[in-house]
Amino acid sequence: MNTTGGLLNDNGHSPQLNDGWWAAFFASGNPRFVDKIVDQLQYFDERTDEMLFFAGATAKWSLASNARTHSLVQSAIEKAKATTISRKQELLDEVLKEDPARIKQEIRDIVQRQREAGKWK
């Protein structure tokens, strides 16, 4: 990371990449990895590309879960919320206020509706 930026330079969108950023955050304590996950929230409203939705959905759930147990995660979310635009602010507010179990159920409901509509396999 010191010479090439490591995972901070990755700009993809997937649940697996979110997991990598979490691993890097917990290994380093660098909140920029949390910022990378916050950036994935924009895909929570995606309803065409299933993989992009899951990038946003896993970001939302994992941020909510980790904010409850790690003050640096909560701080990074609050900082992002103060400096972002409307829909992302709404999502960050939900991350801070909603129970992670409720978010997980919301994700399941969205997936079920999309599959019943024949949009996702």
Determine the pLDDT at residue 2.
Answer: 46
Establish if 1 belongs to a structural domain: no
Establish if 60 belongs to a structural domain: yes
Establish if 39 belongs to a structural domain: yes
Structure tokens at 92: 């960050």
Series of mean pLDDT values for 10-residue runs along the chain (121 residues): 60 90 92 94 95 97 96 94 88 95 97 94 81
User: CA 95 to CA 115: how far, in whole Å?
Assistant: 25
Establish if 121 belongs to a structural domain: no
Determine the pLDDT at residue 5.
Answer: 59
Q: Is-contact 53 44, C-beta < 8 A?
A: yes
**Nearest CA among 77, 57, 67 for reference residue 13:** 57
Residue 31: domain span: 6-116
8-state DSSP, 97: H
Provide the number of structural domains found in the chain.
1
Establish if 88 belongs to a structural domain: yes
